Amino acid sequence: MTVLPIGSLAGAQASYEWPEDGFTKIPNWVYSDPDIYRKELEVFYYGDTWHYVGLTCEVPEIGSFRRSTIGERPVILVRHADDEFSVLENRCAHKGAQLCWENTGKVEDFTCPYHQWNYSLKGDLQGVPFLRGALGKGGMPRDFKKSEHGLKSLRIHNEGGAIWATFSDDAPSFEDYCGPDILAEVRHMLPGKPIELLGYTRQLIPSNWKTYLENLKDPYHATLLHSFYITFGLWRADNKSKCVPQERGHSVMVSHNEGKKTSDATSEMKRFRDDLEVLDKETITPRQEFNKKRVGGGWIFPSAYMGIQANTLKMRHLIPRGPNMHELVFTHYGFTDDDAELRRLRLKHANLLGPAGFVSMDDSEMLSQLQHGVGAYPHETSIVEMGGKEIEETDYMVSEVLIRSFYKFYREAMGL
Ligand code: FES
Ligand SMILES: [Fe+2]
């Protein structure tokens, strides 16, 4: 058991001893401690990891850009040539001001509002006002080289129309970082067909970023908390399913939509409401498509979850915003060859998830309540033993195996 150096901030834990060996007990301080949070940013967001940034369909023309975030660092995704993209640090090389303030747009180049240093779409510094001063006085020293002061450009990877980036020169390739199972999930959702942007939802949830990560590694809650899922059969404990632990914090969790039904398991589901009906049946009736009733998907740790529920396709982007807050940006997409009815269904089923989603609003509220408990009792522990203490693939849902698998990885990566 490792003990990290004592943090300098008031409110930090006095020591970081894990409650016991293994990964079935989680100390509550991982959800609120500022020093732990800072270390997580360094290890998981600015280390040898790949991050979702945006979709190529969001930047359709040369000069189109989209602001994004990796960890807490603002970046810009920009198309700088027909099929070439850059992810640039959104930080002026002069004094560090954020230079791009719009979420999306189209430009010929980037100009920092502060002293108007101007950069190309690839981030090269092109212009510095008063480079040679005014009235023969001032200006930059003669040895100042514009070529040495561009915007930092990140390593990127385009996978089926999604752009991923890393700050690290040492990170493995995107494919190796994912591993075969996760890569298969990404390619299932983005098979290389042209994609189209359908819209966004954004929300701030007042809880630690890992509470959301764990929420999507936790099929156990989904079978109990969500009346909508259980009642209408979109996600139930008695549906065919599997949880597949992965390396590097990734995970795969999938199930099958079998519609409304009763079974032996129904009696355990207090929120099953046999009397509940949806008047607009289309809300819960997906059209059969490529996934063949298979729902769910994978975490591409740490920043993105990709999956399908009904006919809604989205990139869920998880952004940490301090130890006690995270942001979720859902980018809803479809394929350019979708017919009008399928496009309409994708938008309609987007109502299941997101800030006011028939399903997801349960999670947002639950996670903020969770933060109240774990934040106020950092010295206490939580337990993740549902389905046993081991880490192995399961073909059932009443399991916390993916959370155990995550904390095995987390302890090693964080040196805890
Ligand atoms: S901070 Fe950007 S030009 Fe000065
Ligand atoms: Fe949920």
What is the spatial distance between Cα 323 and Cα 326, in angstroms, rounded to a whole number?
A: 8
Q: Cβ neighbours of residue 129 under 8 Å, at least 6 residues apart?
A: 115, 116, 117
Q: Quote the mean pLDDT of the chain.
A: 92
Q: Please tell me whether residues 145 and 196 are part of one structural domain.
A: no
Domain containing residue 74? 51-159
pLDDT surpasses 90 at 380: yes
The answer to whether residue 122 sits within a structural domain is: yes
293 dihedral zone (left: phi>0; alpha: psi -120 to 50; beta)? left
1 band by pLDDT with thresholds 50, 70 and 90: very low
Asked if the model's pLDDT at residue 182 lies above 80, the reply is yes
Q: Nearest ligand to the C-alpha of residue 360?
A: 2
Are residues 254 and 115 part of one domain?
Answer: no
Specify the residue with its C-alpha closest to ligand 1, atom 3: 115
Burial class of residue 391, CB neighbours in 10 A (0-12, 13-18, 19+): middle
pLDDT band at 7 (very low <50, low <70, confident <90, very high): very low
Number of domains in the chain: 2
Over the Cα atoms of the chain, what is R_g? Answer: 23
What are the pLDDT digits (tens) for 74-108? 999 999 999 999 999 999 999 999 999 999 999 99
**Cβ(110) – ligand 1 distance below 6 Å:** no
What DSSP string runs through 396-410? SSS--HHHHHHHHHH
Alpha-carbon distance 354 to 332, whole Å?
Answer: 10
Check whether residue 279 and residue 155 sit in a common domain. Answer: no
Q: Is residue 70 part of a domain?
A: yes
Q: Which of 140, 159, 178 is the last residue of a domain?
A: 159
Mutate to test the pocket of ligand 1, among 76, 89, 109, 117 (most ligand atoms within 8 A of CB): 117
Cβ count near 261 (within 10 Å): 12
With a 6 Å cutoff on the Cβ, whether 128 touches ligand 1 is no
Q: Which residues on neighbouring strands pair with residue 330, listed in sequence order? A: 201, 316
Q: What size, in residues, is the chain? A: 416
Q: Are residues 246 and 380 in the same domain?
A: yes
Closest Cα to residue 186, out of 9, 50, 362? 50
Q: For residue 87, give the CATH number of its domain.
A: 2.102.10.10
Name the closest-CA residue to atom 1, ligand 1: 95
DSSP type of residue 229: H
Asked whether residue 9 is domain-assigned, the answer is: no
Which 3 state secondary structure label does DSSP give 288? coil
Minimum mean pLDDT range among 191-195, 262-266, 391-395, 412-416: 262-266
Report d(CA 152, CA 91) in Å as an integer: 8
Query: Does 27 reside within a domain?
Result: no
CB 166 within 8 A of CB 154: yes
Handedness of CA 384, 388, 394, 399 (dihedral sign): negative
Q: How confident is the model at residue 331 (pLDDT cuts 50, 70, 90)?
A: very high
pLDDT score of 20: 83
Position 260 scores a pLDDT of 63
In the reported structure, the alpha carbon of residue 354 is separated from the centroid of ligand 1 by a whole-number distance in angstroms of 37
Do residues 101 and 204 both lie within one domain?
Answer: no
Is the distance from CB of 383 to CB of 374 less than 8 angstroms? no
CATH number at residue 326: 3.90.380.10
Shared-domain flag, residues 280 and 374: yes
User: 18 in a domain, yes or no?
Assistant: no
Task: Name the band, by pLDDT with cuts 50, 70 and 90, for residue 9.
Answer: very low
236 and 378 in a common domain: yes
Q: Where does a domain end: 138, 159, 180?
A: 159
- Angle among Cα 324, 327, 48 to the nearest 5 degrees reads 90
User: In angstroms, what is the span from residue 107 Cα to ligand 2's centroid?
Assistant: 39
pLDDT at 123: 98
Tell me if 130 CB under 6 Å of ligand 1: no
- Ligand 1 pocket check for 112: Cβ under 6 Å: yes
pLDDT, average across residues 164-192: 98
pLDDT confidence band for 223 (50 / 70 / 90): confident
Shared domain for 201 and 259, answered yes or no, is: yes
pLDDT at 289 over 80: yes
With contact defined as beta carbons under 8 Å apart, do 216 and 253 qualify? yes
In a domain? residue 178: no
Domain limit, last residue, from 136, 159, 182: 159
Give the pLDDT mean for 59-72. Answer: 98
Does the beta carbon of 115 lie inside 6 Å of ligand 1? yes
- Closest listed residue to residue 378, CA positions, set 95, 3, 4, 36: 36
Shared domain for 347 and 207, answered yes or no, is yes
**Residues in a beta bridge with 394:** 243
pLDDT band per the 50, 70, 90 thresholds, residue 188: very high
Q: 225 and 88: one domain?
A: no
The phi-psi region of residue 137 (left if phi > 0; otherwise alpha if psi is between -120 and 50; otherwise beta) is beta
Q: Averaging pLDDT over each range in 48-52, 269-273, 278-282, which range is the top one? A: 48-52
Cis peptide leading into 378, omega within 30 of 0? no
Ligand 1 in reach of 114 Cβ (< 6 A)? yes
On whether residue 67 sits in a domain, the answer given is yes
Which range (59-68, 163-172, 231-240) has the least confidence? Answer: 231-240
Indicate if 84 and 214 belong to the same structural domain: no
Alpha-carbon gap, residue 274 to 231, rounded angstroms: 7
- Opening angle at CA 9, ends 47 and 377, nearest 5: 95
For residue 357, which ligand has an atom nearest its CA?
Answer: 2
Buried b (16+ CB within 10 A) or exposed e, 336-360: eebeeebbebbebbbebbbeebbbb
- Is residue 310 domain-shared with residue 207, that is, in the same domain? yes
Q: How many CB atoms lie within 10 A of CB 364?
A: 21
Ligand 1 near 149 CB (within 6 A): no
Summary count for the chain: helices (H), strands (E): 9, 19
Q: For residues 94 and 8, which has the higher predicted lDDT (pLDDT)?
A: 94
| Distance, CA of 251 to CA of 248 (rounded, Å) | 9
Q: What is the pLDDT of residue 12?
A: 62
**Residue 291 counted as domain residue:** yes
The answer on pLDDT for 293 being more than 60 is yes
Measured in Å, residue 77 CA sits from the centre of ligand 1 at 20
- Closest ligand to Cα 151: 1
Q: Of 200-204, 324-328, 354-358, where does mean pLDDT reach its minimum?
A: 354-358
Tens of pLDDT, residues 393-407: 999 888 999 999 999
Residue 114 CB partners (closer than 8 Å, separation 6+): 92, 94, 95, 97
Q: Residues of the chain with pLDDT > 90: what percent? A: 80
pLDDT of residue 235: 72
pLDDT tier at 263, thresholds 50, 70, 90: low
